[in-house]
Amino acid sequence: MKAKEFDKKFDDNKEDIIENLNLSTMRRINQQQKRINVDFPSWVVESLDKEAARIGVTRQSIIKVWLVERLQSEATNKSKHLDSVNAAGV
């Protein structure tokens, strides 16, 4: 199918376009996994393991969740700071 025909089907919203997609090769941008190694002091690993066991997840899961939460928080704080600076006319 030509791109114009596909775009028309999508824009017209009259037909289901899913059947025209190859979902097996679909990728989410910026969601591919990348392996890293991080060294922590033993007390940090022990604390992570205790907290992970308490909530029933793996060490890796709790590290991922906490890092994502922190990054999102930092992004929100940065955005709020920029908004306040822009509102002040600085």
Over the stretch 50-70, which tens digit does the pLDDT of each residue have? 999 999 999 999 999 999 999
Segment 27-38 mean pLDDT? 86
Phi-psi region of 32 (alpha: psi -120 to 50; beta: other; left: phi over 0): beta
pLDDT at residue 33, rounded to an integer = 84
pLDDT number for residue 16: 82
CATH of domain 3-87: 1.10.1220
Q: Of 1-5, 18-22, 69-73, where does the model show the most confidence? A: 69-73
pLDDT in tens, 35-54: 999 999 999 999 999 999 99
Task: Say which residue, 65 or 77, is predicted with more confidence.
Answer: 65
Integer-rounded Cα Rg, in Å, for the chain is 22
Cα 7 to chain centroid distance, Å, stands at 28
pLDDT value at residue 35: 92
Residue extents of the structural domains in the chain: 3-87
